[in-house]
Amino acid sequence: MIDAIEVGIRSENPCAGARPRAIAPEARKALTAAEVTALLGETPWPDRVVYLLAVTTGLRFGELAGLNVSDVDLSGQLLHVRRVVVEVPHEGQQIKPYPKGGATARRAIGLPEAVVQMLTEHLSGRQSADPLWPNLNGGRQWYGLASRCLRAAYSRARITEASGFHTLRRTAATLALQKAASIRDVQAMLGHKSPVMTLTRYAQADVDQQRAATGRVADTILTAAPGQNPDKTPKSSTPSTEG
């Protein structure tokens, strides 16, 4: 249910206030940089632009679907997150004039040059009020169809254990932190009220970085006592009592 609200399918949680038995959170996958490259290579235009945008900004599906052409500041290299598309059962799509979290969740995200170049081509000749990511009829994307297209791209790229658009959001957080972005900046990028959510739900541990860190610790310990061989047990300094 939390994921449904997070991506914009539902506007509220009918289970709010319930206190289920605490269980350990399930591990969730973030893509590696190589997997992102493979995914983009198996994705046709214009979805390729949107997937790259998602994996560099961490936008929720509803926020991606809610983007207008006017939300992209190409000269300033900024993306403005101002609204979200919510799918309401039996009613269709609703556009809220603010992202998840309310008016204070509106934010501007800096865009890298490579994304700006792709967006420049993608938005050429478009009207400012047009959806940035239109469906075949020119309207807003629907979660179900867009998710099927993404899962097909995952399959073509031979990526397993991915969970739709939230995998791209989680990947954005994980890769940004791996590249030394601050927790505060990643929290702001994702639109989280608390850094706890950023760290516990979206940032995935990096085994290679852990190995490098433990290696530095080991090097520090082993070089602190030059000449000692860590494979040999030091001799006892206690005098022998044998006669």
CATH number of the domain that residue 127 is part of: 1.10.443.10
Q: How do residues 225-239 score in pLDDT, each as one tens digit? A: 655 555 555 555 555
* 231 vs 199: which has the higher pLDDT: 199
Mean pLDDT, all residues of the chain? 85
Flag whether 233 is in a domain.
Answer: no
Helices 113-123, 47-57: axis angle to 10 degrees equals 150
Instruction: Tell which phi-psi region holds residue 100, choosing left (phi > 0), alpha (psi between -120 and 50) or beta.
Output: beta
Flag whether 67 is in a domain.
Answer: yes
Flag whether 151 is in a domain.
Answer: yes
Flag whether 177 is in a domain.
Answer: yes
The pLDDT of residue 204: 67
Residue 186, domain extent:
2-13+26-207
Flag whether 215 is in a domain.
Answer: no
Flag whether 49 is in a domain.
Answer: yes
Split into its structural domains, the chain has a count of 1
Q: What is the band of 64 on the pLDDT scale with cuts at 50, 70, 90?
A: very high
